[in-house]
Amino acid sequence: MRRFPLFLLMAAFVAAPALHAAEPPARKAAMLYAQFCSGCHGADLQGGRATSLLDRKWMASDDARLLGAIRGGVPRSGMPAFRKTFTEPEIRALAIFIRESAHRRADPAVGQAGGLPEGIQRTALHAYRVETVLSGLDVPWTLAFLPDGRLLVTQRKGMLVEGIQDDGRWTARPIKGLPRVWVRDEGGLLDITPHPDYAANGWLYLTLADPGPEDSGNTKLVRGRIRDGRWVDQETIFKAPVATYTDLGINFGSAVVFHNGYLFFSFGERGNVGQAQDLSLPNGKIHRLFPNGRVPPDNPFVHTRGALPSIWSYGHRNPQGLTIDPRSGALWESEHGPRGGDELNHIVRGRNYGWPVITHGMNYDGTPVSALTRKKDMEQPVRHWTPSIAVSPIHFYTGDAFPAWKNQLFLGALAQQELHRLKVEGDRVIGQELILKGRGRVRGVTTGPDGYLYVALEIPGPDTPDLVVRLVPAD
């Protein structure tokens, strides 16, 4: 059974006995849901960055649990308390609205959210068809190709599969011996990235939620090799101090990219607001290391007293996307805002990207994070999204199958189930187009050795298998 993060609102409690009606609230329940809940749980209750309210695991939940979650939140999952935001009649009305809406949508067809488009799909520059590559996955997080054409797919629950194509047919086998991961809400097995010289050294870099003491976890970076279907030769490249481990299951990041002999990886703030500005902590930062974990002597904070020498940039909330522009070598990052304020950033050495001092978003309970959207010596995003689309992966397309797309940036979204194409010039976005919409939460994007664009999709709905698909030219 898939585990979804209980992120914002009432932890997906559907189809329990009806609640008793209360006195008419000051604000309509549908309006409250649209304003405070849909950004994470989806306008159709099928989930976005947070869990689906239609998941079967909540079918038998009782009224007390639902009302308690709305009032008191689920702090370990990043869901705020709404006891000060809503009146008691509003809380009860909202619960009734959830119940009624869930009953109406209790059996959504897979095709409503995850059915793949049939036939030719036309965009401004290219037409394409969608083909299924792998099915039966469970929250695929990242895609990575090896030089011999094998496709690696991480799954949040701690599994890594190896996709192999033979005579046009794809099969997947699990890799054994992986490190233990802390599977909690957004945490689990995250990114996988081959070393640029993988053909010679075989190194693969994994980020994961590392289990700590007393049911806690934090982001960790390791490397290892695959030999005879097993994960071997593991080495730790970056591990946060044990004192920074927390029972919060949100904002891990993370992504890994290589450039000019250096490794960059992103580390989420982990739900403790303000730590992204603290240079003594790894949280809310992008780090730069040599591939073996050593700190480059020219990093910007190497000589700053009390600062972690691995830090390259800071002031980030939940940076899940990281990529290199193949033309310029520039580093680009995408990060989740809170309620609004998702960002696409052009990352420059030593810069402060502002969170939480400046932001275009607000807290999930509707209260402000900051009154500021700009401040001296803090960087503005190249692009930001309010309301949130729940940005996730970013990738510069480098293939030849879609020549007009070459070197353009593809950005995925979870809540809005979208794949965007962005035309980038220098540190600006000068054009954009929506390529795919409403087919699943876009978890991973990469260019295949065949030049096709491969996309990992998390399909909403109860017990629906997730997919890897590819966009194939139809011109």
Residue 53's CATH number: 1.10.760.10
CA 409 to chain centre: 17
> Does 158 share its domain with 280?
yes
Total tally of structural domains belonging to the chain: 2
Assigned domain for 12 exists: no
Query: pLDDT value at position 255?
Result: 98
Query: pLDDT value at position 105?
Result: 58
Assigned domain for 375 exists: yes
Burial 235-247 (b: 16+ CB within 10 A, else e): eebbbbeeebbbe
Task: Determine the Cα–Cα distance for residues 219 and 62; give it in Å rounded to an integer.
Answer: 34
Among candidate residues 66, 50, 45, 60, the one with its CA nearest the CA of residue 8 = 50
242 near 291, Cβ under 8 Å? no
> Does 370 share its domain with 419?
yes
310 near 282, Cβ under 8 Å? yes
* Spatial strand order in the sheet of 418-425: 391-396, 409-413, 418-425, 428-437
1 near 57, Cβ under 8 Å? yes
Assigned domain for 282 exists: yes
Which residues constitute the domain of residue 186? 118-473
Assigned domain for 15 exists: no
> Does 319 share its domain with 272?
yes
Task: Determine the Cα–Cα distance for residues 149 and 306; give it in Å rounded to an integer.
Answer: 44
Task: Determine the Cα–Cα distance for residues 384 and 371; give it in Å rounded to an integer.
Answer: 17
Domain stops at, among 73, 106, 139: 106
Angle value at C-alpha 389, between 36 and 444, nearest 5 degrees: 135
> Does 226 share its domain with 189?
yes
Assigned domain for 19 exists: no
> Does 148 share its domain with 101?
no
Assigned domain for 24 exists: no
> Does 207 share its domain with 337?
yes
Assigned domain for 61 exists: yes
Query: pLDDT value at position 57?
Result: 53
Domain stops at, among 76, 106, 136: 106
Among candidate residues 304, 302, 237, 243, the one with its CA nearest the CA of residue 264 = 237
Domain stops at, among 74, 106, 138: 106
> Does 46 share its domain with 148?
no
Query: pLDDT value at position 104?
Result: 58
> Rg of the chain's alpha carbons, rounded to an integer?
22
**End-to-end CA, the chain:** 40
Q: At what angle do helices 63-72 and 88-104 cross, to 10 degrees?
A: 120
Assigned domain for 2 exists: no
> Does 369 share its domain with 325?
yes
189 near 160, Cβ under 8 Å? yes
Query: pLDDT value at position 14?
Result: 37
Cα-flanking dihedrals φ and ψ of residue 36, to 5°?
Answer: -110, -20
Render each residue's pLDDT in the chain as its tens digit; 475 residues. Answer: 444 444 434 433 333 444 444 444 458 888 888 888 887 787 877 777 777 776 655 545 666 787 888 899 888 888 899 999 988 878 877 777 776 666 555 433 333 444 899 999 999 999 999 999 999 999 999 999 999 999 999 999 999 999 999 988 999 999 999 999 999 999 999 999 999 999 999 999 999 999 999 999 999 999 999 999 999 999 999 999 999 999 999 999 999 999 999 999 999 999 999 999 999 999 999 999 999 999 999 999 999 999 999 999 999 999 999 999 999 999 999 999 998 899 999 999 999 999 999 999 988 887 889 989 999 999 999 999 988 899 999 999 999 999 999 999 999 999 999 999 999 999 999 999 999 999 999 999 999 999 999 999 999 877 789 999 999 999 7
> Does 74 share its domain with 129?
no
> Does 96 share its domain with 142?
no
> Does 178 share its domain with 79?
no
CATH of the domain at 364: 2.120.10.30
Residues forming a β-bridge with 335 = 319, 343
> Does 340 share its domain with 388?
yes
